[in-house]
Amino acid sequence: MDRKEFLIVSGKIAAFTALSTCLFNCNQGSSNDITAPTNVDFTVDLSSQEGSALNSVGGYIYKNGIVIARVSQTQFSALSQACTHQGTTVNYQASATRFHCPNHGSNFDTNGNVINGPATRNLTKYNTSLSGNSLRVYS
């Protein structure tokens, strides 16, 4: 084998190795690996320090693997906090009324539906019920 053939074969091997590694790593942490909390039933006291951010529209908190946001004067949204792409914690962007994953840019509406990827699976949505200063979040 001459030098030219050696370089061509070496280049093909390097390209194959890089592609294989990328494909393997891109499949790691895919939406199939992310699980949302189940059997959820807890309350948040809006008069406490923990729940005080929810007294204002646009405020949000994290509790028990769930992100809870006040999306209007009368409406709360409670969704699984782990992005379904690779598990990064999403945050609520009140100005755009959406949940955003800062890692790869996935966005979800207030019902947890994917607006844009790379996530392909919706966030799990939980029920909310407000009674006085007590916000119940449940499955």
Distance of CA 44 to the CA centre of its chain: 21
Amino acid identity for residue 75 in this structure: Q
CB atoms within 10 A of CB 67: 21
Domain boundaries, the chain: 1-33, 34-138
Q: What is the pTM assigned to this prediction? A: 0.76
Question: Per-residue pLDDT tens for 36-64?
Answer: 989 999 999 999 999 999 999 999 999 99
The per-residue pLDDT string of the chain (139 residues; one tens digit each, 9 = 90 and over) reads 667 666 565 656 655 555 444 444 444 444 456 889 899 999 999 999 999 999 999 999 999 999 999 999 999 999 999 999 999 999 999 999 999 999 999 999 999 999 998 999 999 999 999 999 999 999 9
- Under CATH, domain 34-138 is a member of which superfamily? Rieske [2Fe-2S] iron-sulphur domain (2.102.10.10)
The tokens describing 81, both together, are: 């906090």
d(CA 114, CA 110): 10
Residues 6+ positions from 51 with CB-CB distance below 8 Å? 44, 45, 61, 133, 135
Give 61's strand partners.
68
Helices (H), 1-139: 3-27
d(CA 130, CA 43): 9
